[in-house]
């Protein structure tokens, strides 16, 4: 299935017609001869949480940087809140909030000072500033840390401060570049809950990038899978999972590795693909999990082989990603290309 | 405009919240002033000179009395009696003593017979400062011994009457202008160079760039803050350094005004120069690597430590475009000569023009995008 076949124009993502908040049309970004973003188009409806999912180096950050006016667009068009990012960058900046990938709040400043300075950068009037700061601190649960120096905060609290900083001028569209990278699982879940709460209370449109499947699955209304600068698939998490032929994944671990297993599993009824994982471990995508499970047990018994483990689960975004990109979403599996984007100074390459 | 003030506020808050940074930018020039000022500025005293007297006659006694007078008064050297000339030479060579004077046999007789008597002087010329001082002192003693006993009724020699325009300037005072300029440079180098690039690398600038702040507001905000930090450093070191060097003149209201003008103009010039150098730099290692090199390139051709007239032409040319030259000239004119506005207006003009010019060149080079 091609990416465009499940491309869903904004406004229909949950069945209701909604105005478009972000429209990206055939956008391209080139660095010399290297094309970091290749003819990507999508749109995001107002109030939607839209995720760009892909491994490091896929072009997610480049996309978000073009939409937030940080880097110029080579070709195509990006419209944010009705403003063209190339023609009206200042208008775009006024209506968006941006959370960069790195933690960039000033460590020597207090929580309130960080927020106050950003409110001033957005020309928020003094009275409104005080009110906004109090509100966003409450929203991210940092009110009691108002006077604390940022360097005394934990990683999760600093990320919440970054979120508060991006909201201090009441933006209508919120861009988050890998908002939970580097956080422990508890802090990550706390950030997800907070973003969901903010979406509901402020009617925010959010566009976030992530390479965490679970994050995209739990947080996003729609997901765009990006790889090597191309939009590989787009849809709601359910649509994407349903788009993969086979509703279930059977994970089987044979006690003894045998080259014949791959062929035997592939021939089973209902099996659409088999992914060998090594050491006798196989992921089998099938239309019927229960039927395939029975067949595997019978097959093993007929051959006198022992099964170490056998599990059945529904298709995950991992499977979707593998289906569309042909590889797993693991950082180490990002294939090198002729041109590598230099890492942003100060961040881990 | 408010957005520019937000940048200034952020920079100044950070500056005052970083005591280590403040202390380092203030302490380094002060330490340099104290250590270099005292290391190079003092006269040579307390050296040891061996005396090997092979004569023991009345003229030899006269020589030794002259040595004793030096030891008691200006204390350039004290004498140690040696009997063995070879041992004395060896001790000079090994550094146990600094020089040796050999009064040869028949010295007194040759003085009386005016037979060109000679005093031997063995000196360690690997140390130019000490040997130069001892040679000069010995020459004065020999000149005094050669002076006629009965003065001519009419003086035939031409005398030079020296009129010193200013009170005695020791090396500590001489170095103070350099110290003030250096404090401003270090402040700009750390605040405008290293921290600027570090902020860029940490993504702080990315945070600014997604706000509606304009390029000019951002550039001016950062540069005004940088100049303010350099000005504060210059004022602090100007006051502390003057107290250390014993220059109470700095507290005179007019001198204060002139110093403040020079410090502000110098801060603008240094900051503009640093911004121009760093405007397209992204790697945090670059300003650190440049720190020492730039220090030498700017400080030495300026004449801060040694007069520029002794420099080769190419180095003098470097000094002409070096803001250090004008800052230090101005500070010297105010602190050491009380030269007034007349003496410093060319320096003020150059520094201000240089600062504005570098900013005008750097601003278009500053990228509003990543």
- Whether B271 and B348 map to the same domain: the answer is yes
Return the pLDDT at B318.
Answer: 92
Report the mean per-residue pLDDT for chain A: 85
Residues of A in contact with B212 (CB under 8 A): 90, 93-94, 121-123
Read off the pLDDT of residues A77-94 as tens digits, 9 standing for 90 and up: 999 999 999 999 999 999
Facing residue for A70 by CB, picked from B198, B200, B369? B369
The chain A residue lying nearest B221, using CA atoms, is: A121
Judgement on whether residues B120 and B29 belong to the same structural domain of the protein: no
B interface test, pick of A91, A105, A110, A120 with most B CB neighbours within 10 Å: A120
- Do B102 and B137 lie in one domain? The reply is yes
Integer angstrom CA distances of residue B312 from A149, A310, B149, B315, B317: 53, 85, 47, 5, 9
For B229-270, the pLDDT digits (tens) are: 999 999 999 999 898 888 888 889 999 999 999 999 999 999
The predicted structure's pLDDT at residue B220: 93
Residues 150-189 of A with CB under 8 A from B: 165
- The count of structural domains within chain B is 2
pLDDT of B49 reads 93
Model confidence pLDDT, tens digit, residues B281-336: 888 898 888 888 888 899 889 988 777 888 899 999 999 999 999 999 999 999 88
A346 contact B CB<8A: yes
**Closest residue of B to A345, CA-based?**
B201
State how far the Cα of B259 lies from the Cα of B257, in Å rounded to an integer.
5
B301 in any annotated domain: yes
Point out the residues of chain B with pLDDT beneath 70: 40-42, 148-159, 162, 164, 168
C-alpha torsion A86→A88→A90→A93, nearest 10: -70
CB contact under 8 A, B204 and A106: yes
Say yes or no: B311 and B224 in one domain: yes
Domain identity same for B194 and B288: yes
Q: Does B280 share its domain with B214?
A: yes
Each residue of A274-295: pLDDT tens digit?
888 888 899 888 888 888 999 9
A window 117-156, beta carbon within 8 A of B? 117-118, 120-123, 149
Domain span at B191? 2-40+170-365
Q: What does the pLDDT look like over A133-163, one tens digit per residue?
A: 999 999 888 999 999 999 999 988 999 999 9
CA angle, corner B85, sides to B81 and B91, nearest 5? 75
Do B271 and B360 belong together in one domain?
Answer: yes
Contacts of B217 in chain A (CB under 8 A): none
Q: How many angstroms separate the CA atoms of B254 and B102, rounded?
A: 58
In a shared domain, residues B224 and B284: yes
Residue A334's pLDDT is what? 41
With a cut of 70, say whether residue A332 has pLDDT above it.
no
Candidates B2, B214, B369; nearest CB to A71: B369
Residue A337 pLDDT: 39
Which is more confidently placed, A331 or A228? A228
Three-state secondary structure along chain A?
A: CCCHHHCCCCCCCCCCCCCEEEEEEEEEEEECCEEEEEEEEEEEECCCEEEEECCCCCCHHHHHHHHCCCCCCCEEEEEECCEECCCCHHHHHHHEEEECCCCCCCCCCEHHHHHHHHHHHCCCCHHHHHHHHHHHHHHCCCHHHCCCEHHHCCHHHHHHHHHHHHHCCCCCEEEEECCCCCCCHHHHHHHHHHHHHHHHHHCCEEEEEECCHHHHHHHCCEEEEEECCEEEEEECHHHHHHHCCCCEEEEEEECCCCCHHHHHHHCCCCEEEEEEEECCEEEEEECCHHHHHHHHHHHHHHHCCCEEEEEEEECCHHHHHHHHHCCCCCHHHCCCCCCCCCCCCCCCC
Highest mean pLDDT among A41-50, A190-199, B41-50: A41-50
**Which residues of A are less than 8 Å from B2 in CB distance?**
120, 123
Which helix (H) or strand (E) segment holds residue A194: the answer is: helix A185-202
Domain stops at, among B108, B143, B178: B143
Residues of chain B found within 8 Å of residue A71, distances taken between Cβ atoms: 369-370
- A335: tokens are 């294939």
- Chain-chain contact of B210 with A98 (C-beta, under 8 angstroms): yes
Q: Is the pTM of this model over 0.80?
A: no
Best mutation target among B7, B212, B283, B286 (most A Cβ atoms within 10 Å) is B212
Domain end residue (candidates: B124, B143, B162): B143
* Contact state of B370 with A65 under an 8 Å Cβ cutoff: yes
| Whether residue B50 is found in the same domain as residue B30 | no
Structural contact between residues B208 and A98, judged by C-beta atoms closer than 8 angstroms: no
Task: For chain A, list the domains and their CATH numbers.
Answer: 4-241 (3.40.50.300), 245-314 (3.30.70)
The backbone torsions φ and ψ at residue A256, rounded to the nearest 5 degrees and listed phi first, read -120, 130
Tell me which of B105, B128, B143 is where a domain ends: B143
- B10 to A109: CB separation less than 8 angstroms, yes or no: yes
DSSP string, B10-40: HHHHHHHT-HHHHHHHHHHHHHHHHHHHHHH
CB contact under 8 A, A346 and B14: no
Is residue B285 situated within a structural domain? Answer: yes
Task: Give yes or no: residues B213 and B324 share one domain.
Answer: yes
Torsion of CA A132, A134, A138, A144, to 10 degrees: 150
Number of residues that make up chain A: 349
The confidence score (pLDDT) of residue B157 equals 66
Q: Which of A113, A122, A165 sits opposite B212 (nearest CB)?
A: A122
> Which residue is closest to A343 within chain B, CA to CA?
B201
User: Does residue B219 belong to any structural domain of this protein?
Assistant: yes
Query: Residues of B with CB below 8 A from A181's CB?
Result: none
For position A2, what pLDDT does the model report? 35
Q: Quick one: B87 and B33 in the same domain?
A: no
On chain A, the residues whose CB falls within 8 A of the CB of B211 are 93, 118, 121-122
Cβ pair A120:B9 closer than 8 A: yes
Residue B255 sits at the vertex; the CA angle it makes with B252 and B260, to the nearest 5 degrees, is 120
B210 and B325 together in one domain: yes
B370 touches chain A (CB under 8 A): yes
Cβ contact A90–B212 (<8 Å) = yes
Residue B28 lies in a domain: yes
Nearest CB to A100 within list B2, B203, B369 = B203
B14/A108 Cβ within 8 A:
yes
What residues of B are in contact with residue A113 (Cβ under 8 Å)?
Answer: 13
Asked whether residue B152 is assigned to any structural domain, the reply reads: no
The helix/strand/coil state of B116 is: coil
Kindly state whether residue B151 falls inside one of the protein's structural domains: no
Inter-chain residue contact B17 with A108, CB threshold 8 Å = yes
CATH number of the domain at B112, please.
Answer: 3.40.1710.10
pLDDT at residue B91 in the model: 92
In A72-91, the residues whose Cβ lies within 8 Å of chain B are 72, 90
Chain A interface includes B19 (CB < 8 A): no
Amino acid B181: pLDDT: 92
> Mutate which of A94, A111, A117 to disrupt the B interface (most B C-beta within 10 Å)?
A117
Residue B281 lies in a domain: yes
Predicted confidence at residue A205, as pLDDT, reads 94
Q: DSSP character for B114? A: T
A100 contacts on B by Cβ (under 8 Å): 203, 206-207, 210
Contact A118 B202 (CB under 8 A): no
- Smallest Cβ–Cβ distance between A121 and the set B3, B200, B203 belongs to B3
Domain assignment of residue B157, yes or no: no
ipTM tops the 0.95 cut: no
């Amino acid at each position: 299935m091609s990416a465009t076949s499940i491309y869903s124009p904004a406004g229909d993502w949950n069945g209701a017609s909604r105005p478009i908040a972000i429209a990206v049309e055939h956008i391209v970004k080139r660095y010399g001869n290297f094309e970091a973003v290749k003819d990507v188009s999508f749109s995001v409806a107002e109030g939607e949480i839209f995720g760009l999912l892909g491994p490091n180096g896929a072009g997610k950050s480049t996309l978000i940087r073009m939409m937030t006016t940080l880097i110029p667009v080579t070709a195509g068009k990006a419209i944010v809140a009705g403003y063209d990012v190339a023609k009206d960058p200042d208008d775009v900046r006024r209506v968006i909030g941006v959370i960069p990938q790195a933690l960039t709040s000033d460590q020597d400043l207090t929580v309130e000072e960080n927020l106050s300075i950003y409110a001033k950068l957005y020309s928020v009037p003094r009275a409104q500033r005080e009110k906004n700061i109090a509100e966003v601190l409450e929203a991210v649960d940092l009110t009691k840390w108002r006077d604390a120096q940022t360097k005394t905060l934990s990683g999760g609290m600093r990320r919440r401060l970054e979120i508060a900083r991006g909201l201090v001028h009441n933006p209508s569209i919120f861009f988050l570049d890998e908002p939970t990278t580097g956080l422990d699982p508890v802090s990550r879940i706390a950030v997800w809950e907070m973003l969901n709460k903010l979406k509901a209370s402020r009617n925010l449109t959010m566009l976030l990038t992530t390479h965490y499947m679970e994050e995209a699955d739990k947080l996003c209304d729609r997901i765009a899978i990006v790889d090597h600068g191309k939009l590989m698939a787009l849809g709601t998490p359910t649509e994407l999972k349903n788009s993969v032929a086979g509703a279930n994944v059977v994970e089987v671990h044979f006690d003894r590795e045998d080259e014949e297993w791959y062929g035997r599993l592939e021939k089973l009824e209902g099996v659409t693909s088999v992914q060998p994982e090594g050491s006798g471990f196989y992921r089998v995508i099938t239309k019927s999990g229960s039927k395939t499970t029975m067949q595997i047990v019978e097959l093993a018994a007929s051959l006198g082989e022992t099964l170490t483990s056998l599990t059945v689960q529904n298709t995950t975004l991992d499977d979707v990603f593998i289906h569309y990109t042909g590889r797993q979403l693991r950082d180490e599996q990002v294939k090198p290309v002729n041109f590598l984007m230099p890492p942003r100074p100060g961040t881990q390459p | 405009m408010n957005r520019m003030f937000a940048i200034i506020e952020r920079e100044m808050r950070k500056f005052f919240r970083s005591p280590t940074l403040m202390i380092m930018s203030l302490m380094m020039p002060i330490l340099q002033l104290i250590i270099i000022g005292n290391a190079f500025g003092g006269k040579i005293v307390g050296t040891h000179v061996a005396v090997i007297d092979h004569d023991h006659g009345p003229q030899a006694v006269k020589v030794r009395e002259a040595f004793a007078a030096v030891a008691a008064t200006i204390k350039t050297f004290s004498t140690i009696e040696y009997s063995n000339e070879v041992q004395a030479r060896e001790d000079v060579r090994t550094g146990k003593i600094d020089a040796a004077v050999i009064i040869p046999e028949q010295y007194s007789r040759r003085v009386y017979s005016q037979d060109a008597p000679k005093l031997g002087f063995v000196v360690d010329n690997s140390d130019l400062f000490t040997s130069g001082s001892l040679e000069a002192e010995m020459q004065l003693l020999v000149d005094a011994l050669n002076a006629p006993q009965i003065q001519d009724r009419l003086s035939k020699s031409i005398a030079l009457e020296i009129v010193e325009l200013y009170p005695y300037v020791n090396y500590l005072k001489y170095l103070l202008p350099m110290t003030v300029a250096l404090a401003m440079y270090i402040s700009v180098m750390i605040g405008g160079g290293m921290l600027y690039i570090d902020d860029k690398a940490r993504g702080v600038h990315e945070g600014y760039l997604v706000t509606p702040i304009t390029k000019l507001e951002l550039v001016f905000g950062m540069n005004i803050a940088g100049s303010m930090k350099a000005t504060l450093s210059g004022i602090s070191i100007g006051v502390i350094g003057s107290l250390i060097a014993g220059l109470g003149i700095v507290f005179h209201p007019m001198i204060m005004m002139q110093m403040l003008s020079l410090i502000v103009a110098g801060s603008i010039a240094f900051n503009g120069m640093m911004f121009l150098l760093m405007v397209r730099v992204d790697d945090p290692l670059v300003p650190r690597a440049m720190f020492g090199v730039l220090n030498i390139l700017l400080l030495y051709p300026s004449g801060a430590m040694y007069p520029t007239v002794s420099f080769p032409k190419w180095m003098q040319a470097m000094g002409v475009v070096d803001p250090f030259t004008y800052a230090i000239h101005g500070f010297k004119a105010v602190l050491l000569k009380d030269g007034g506005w007349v003496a410093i207006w060319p320096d003020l003009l150059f520094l201000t023009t240089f600062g504005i010019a570098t900013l005008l060149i750097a601003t278009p080079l500053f990228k509003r995008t990543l």
